[in-house]
């Protein structure tokens, strides 16, 4: 970076982002807790049709509580600048999984972004989903935990650089 360029920390400090960063700190502690609980949940199964309502709820909590922090916030306008900083140390594989989790949040849990052909309507008026939602696997939970730890470290770094 040359001397005329503004560093990401300088950009963030000019936006008064500390309150938002403190909120994110709490949010990602919660995501970490949900991951730990889900990872150790018994019986841990991978088919939503065989899992318990508690495992399903924990799966939803992990996806939604992680991904919502990367979506547009009406209360904060510089979220993209922060989001870019939070994931800058992600590997290519982690970036791909990050996008997948955000897509799951949008398509499965938070919006009606599901494709219309995912629903099958029977002749008698009944309906079902063509694609059955899969639960997070333990390996995915491990990767997400690493990603959350990187995000939490980055939050602390940004906070210290702004103060």
Mean pLDDT of the 124-143 span: 77
∠ CA 61-17-24 to the nearest 5 degrees?
15
CA distance 102 to 63: 8
Residue predicted with more confidence, 87 or 112: 87
pLDDT for position 74: 62
pLDDT for position 99: 96
Tokens of 58: 């924990």
Nearest Cα residue to 18 out of 67, 82, 96, 70 = 82
Where are the domains positioned within the chain? 8-162
pLDDT for position 81: 79
For the full predicted model, state whether its pTM sits above 0.85.
Answer: no
* Parallel/antiparallel/unpaired status of strands 119-121 and 127-129: antiparallel
pLDDT for position 8: 59
CA distance 68 to 66: 6
pLDDT for position 14: 53
How large a percentage of the chain has pLDDT more than 90?
51
pLDDT beyond 60 at 114: no
pLDDT beyond 90 at 37: yes
């Amino acid at each position: 970076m040359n001397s005329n360029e503004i560093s990401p920390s300088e950009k963030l400090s000019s936006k008064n982002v500390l309150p938002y960063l403190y909120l994110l700190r709490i949010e990602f502690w919660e995501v970490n807790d949900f991951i730990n609980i889900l990872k150790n949940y018994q019986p841990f199964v991978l088919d939503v049709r065989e899992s318990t309502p508690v495992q399903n709820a924990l799966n939803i909590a992990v996806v939604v509580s992680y991904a919502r922090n990367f979506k547009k916030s009406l209360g904060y306008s510089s979220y993209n600048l922060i989001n870019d900083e939070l994931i800058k140390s992600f590997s290519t594989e982690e970036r791909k999984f990050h996008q997948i989790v955000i897509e799951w949040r949008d398509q499965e849990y938070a919006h009606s972004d599901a494709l219309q052909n995912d629903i099958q309507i029977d002749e008698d008026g009944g309906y079902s989903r063509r694609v059955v939602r899969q639960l997070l696997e333990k390996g995915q939970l491990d990767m997400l935990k690493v990603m959350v730890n990187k995000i939490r470290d980055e939050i602390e770094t940004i906070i210290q650089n702004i103060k």
